[in-house]
């Protein structure tokens, strides 16, 4: 059965994309700890293309309410869709933590250390969570794709 996407789901989807394309403001020490070096021209070009595609997708979802319609089937596909939606919620929570990074650290550690290691530790954990952030969005899109394929084959 073709299900329309609610307004809340459309907002969640768009905020998940913003969370993925919004650059992480990691410090140099966090980048070194995670094995990230300075960005080269290829990485920057790839990121710019990804941002353009992300903004285009947000525009599509925001202007056309039927964009996220999908065929939802019972069983593992419906479970995977729910896991994808939960993953998108976590993606938005990750965005909120990234935007409130400094107040969060000040709340967790009211008395800062001399070298500011608490910012480093929280930054590393946020960066590691950020690696998993897109998984919910990709899983949601995968379930949409499989739903359309099943409907196209006539597996209703």
Of residues 33 and 99, the one with the higher pLDDT is: 99
pLDDT tens, position by position, 10-39: 999 999 999 888 766 566 666 666 666 666
Average pLDDT of span 91-99: 84
Average pLDDT of span 80-107: 86
Predicted confidence (pLDDT) at residue 72 exceeds the cutoff of 90: no
Alpha-carbon gap, residue 107 to 60, rounded angstroms: 38
When mean pLDDT is compared across 40-44, 81-85, 140-144, 149-153, the lowest value belongs to 40-44
The tokens describing 69, both together, are 């319609």
Task: Return the pLDDT at 26.
Answer: 61
Average pLDDT of span 79-88: 92
The count of C-alpha atoms lying within 13 angstroms of the C-alpha of 17, restricted to the half-sphere facing its C-beta, is 20
Task: Return the pLDDT at 37.
Answer: 66
Buried b (16+ CB within 10 A) or exposed e, 131-154: eebbebbebbeebbebbeeeeeee
Stated pTM of the model: 0.82
pLDDT tens, position by position, 41-56: 887 888 889 899 999 9
Average pLDDT of span 94-100: 83
Alpha-carbon gap, residue 49 to 53, rounded angstroms: 6
Across the chain, what does the average pLDDT equal?
Answer: 84
pLDDT tens, position by position, 109-129: 888 778 878 777 887 888 777
């Amino acid at each position: 059965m073709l299900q329309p996407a609610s307004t809340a789901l459309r907002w969640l989807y768009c905020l998940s994309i913003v969370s993925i394309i919004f650059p992480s403001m990691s410090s140099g020490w966090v980048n070194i700890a995670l094995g990230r070096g300075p960005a080269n021209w290829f990485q920057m070009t790839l990121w710019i293309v990804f941002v353009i595609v992300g903004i285009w997708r947000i525009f599509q979802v925001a202007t056309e309410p039927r964009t996220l319609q999908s065929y939802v089937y019972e069983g593992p596909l419906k479970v995977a869709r729910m896991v994808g939606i939960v993953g998108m919620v976590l993606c938005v929570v990750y965005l909120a933590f990234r935007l409130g990074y400094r107040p969060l650290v000040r709340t967790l550690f009211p008395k800062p250390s001399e070298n500011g290691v608490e910012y480093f530790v929280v930054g590393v954990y946020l960066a590691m969570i950020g690696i998993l952030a897109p998984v919910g969005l990709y899983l949601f899109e995968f379930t949409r794709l499989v739903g359309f394929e099943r409907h196209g084959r006539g597996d209703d």
